[in-house]
């Protein structure tokens, strides 16, 4: 027997279904708004900032750098094309490409076609890339199996561990960078959304800044469980390396993601996402950082765990550098999936203003509010510190009512 359902009933059921979907979407939007408002990021998004400017001067001793494989050529070209058209076609900074294998003639020819700037193609020395002799091969294999079972991203790829180690402690030592002070790190398959009418390298120099970022997120605490204990061991031996205007409260925050801080043995896991960096290599070349990296390297966490260059860079900056010398490049529209920095300015297109991600699964990974909270609190304590830009001063006034 076939049950006949009246057409009107079917329409009512379908209508109710779509109504439920609409109500669910509205609820999710309300829930997202509440989270966004409570985190402070909504206030950040609504602020209106002037676009940074710099006086036109001679080019700085700076370069664009990219670590890439030959098979990533199409992604390399995509990133180059966007950055050239939005910015570097006005400044003509050189590109330096690094690889642990020789670049192909095709890679060289096609990348050079994308720019009028000089391109250099550099081989990474084996002693900077290979697994060091003090790493126990059996323990390494056991550790990688354990991390894979814990679903730690990329942990089963030995090359990823090597890359993180190289980016942490060797890239700035390469002979190709000896004559440069500043660099802009670019990766394959990233997006740049904004036309940039000033020189970020000159901006760093003019404003006494060491490091610039766009995205500030949490890490997987299981990938760095011993990074903070090893850092504290190093700091106990070198207490004089701690900056008076440090970012310890950002590194150890327990308010927003206490489970992360607990799992990482005291480290909040907040870090600058280092696939985008505009920075002064003087910091990496300093005795403090060099000794810190050597300590971490000997501890083995780049291989027995999955220590990334992002948390290593961030912890070092947070401890050894004044936090006022670290800058959020809010006006540089940038995407490395799944995260986005998209300012609401006339110079930007092709991205949704003020959005952090398109993925609900990672919406709570934004750590910017922690960064600005500690930056502004530090300003309150160090009232004589005049190193904040007018934009950063405005963040403190509007977001935290610090006059």
Q: At what angle do helices 368-381 and 390-400 cross, to 10 degrees?
A: 100
Sign of the Cα torsion 297, 215, 263, 242 reads positive
CB atoms within 10 A of CB 347: 15
Q: What is the DSSP letter of 227?
A: H
Closest CA to 305 of 380, 230, 399, 403: 230
**Contact 144/158 with Cβ under 8 angstroms?**
yes
**Positions marked active-site:** 277
**By the 8 A CB rule, do 297 and 239 touch?**
no
Tell me the H-state helices in 241-400: 248-251, 258-263, 281-284, 287-299, 301-304, 309-320, 368-381, 390-400
SS3 string of 121-177? EEECCHHHHCCCCCCCHHHHHHHHHHHHHCCCCCCCCHHHHHHHHHHHHCHHHCHHH
Residue 187 has phi, psi (to 5 degrees) of -120, 160
User: DSSP alpha helices (H): ranges in 180-338?
Assistant: 200-206, 227-237, 248-251, 258-263, 281-284, 287-299, 301-304, 309-320
Name every residue whose Cβ is closer than 8 Å to that of residue 53 and which is 6 or more positions away in sequence: 197, 198
């Amino acid at each position: 027997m076939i049950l006949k359902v009246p057409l009107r009933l079917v329409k009512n059921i379908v209508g109710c279904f779509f109504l439920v979907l609409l109500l669910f979407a509205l609820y999710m939007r309300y829930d997202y708004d509440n989270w966004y408002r409570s985190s402070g990021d909504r206030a950040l998004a609504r602020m209106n900032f002037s676009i940074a400017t710099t006086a036109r001067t001679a080019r700085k001793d700076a370069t664009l750098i990219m670590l890439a494989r030959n098979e990533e050529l199409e992604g390399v070209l995509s990133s180059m094309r966007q950055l050239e058209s939005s910015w570097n076609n006005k400044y003509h900074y050189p590109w330096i490409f690094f690889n642990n294998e020789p670049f192909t003639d095709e890679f060289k020819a096609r990348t050079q076609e994308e720019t009028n700037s000089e391109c250099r193609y550099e081989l990474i020395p084996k002693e900077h890339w290979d697994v060091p002799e003090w790493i126990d091969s059996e323990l390494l294999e056991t550790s990688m199996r354990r991390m894979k079972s814990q679903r730690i991203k990329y942990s089963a790829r030995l090359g990823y561990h090597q890359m993180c180690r190289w980016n942490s402690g060797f890239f700035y030592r390469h002979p190709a960078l000896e004559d440069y002070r500043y660099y802009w790190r670019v990766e394959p398959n990233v997006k740049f959304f904004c036309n940039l009418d000033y020189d970020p390298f000159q901006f760093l120099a003019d404003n006494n800044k060491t490091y610039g970022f766009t995205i500030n997120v949490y890490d997987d605490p299981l990938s760095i469980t011993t990074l903070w204990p090893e850092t504290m061991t190093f700091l106990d031996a070198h207490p004089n390396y701690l900056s008076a205007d440090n970012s310890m409260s950002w590194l150890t925050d327990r308010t927003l993601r206490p489970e992360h801080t607990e799992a990482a043995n005291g480290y909040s896991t907040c870090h600058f996402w280092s696939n985008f960096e505009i920075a002064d290599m003087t910091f990496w070349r300093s005795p403090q950082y060099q000794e810190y990296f050597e300590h971490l390297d000997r501890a083995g966490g780049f291989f027995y765990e999955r220590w990334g260059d992002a948390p290593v860079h961030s912890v070092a900056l947070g401890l050894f550098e004044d936090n006022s010398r670290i800058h959020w490049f809010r006006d540089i529209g940038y995407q490395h999936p799944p995260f986005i920095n998209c300012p609401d300015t006339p110079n930007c297109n092709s991205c949704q203003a003020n959005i952090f991600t398109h993925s609900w699964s990672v919406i709570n990974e934004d750590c910017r509010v922690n960064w600005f909270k500690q930056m502004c609190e530090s300003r309150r304590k160090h009232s004589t510190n005049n190193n904040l830009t007018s934009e950063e001063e405005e963040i403190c006034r509007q977001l935290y009512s610090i006059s």
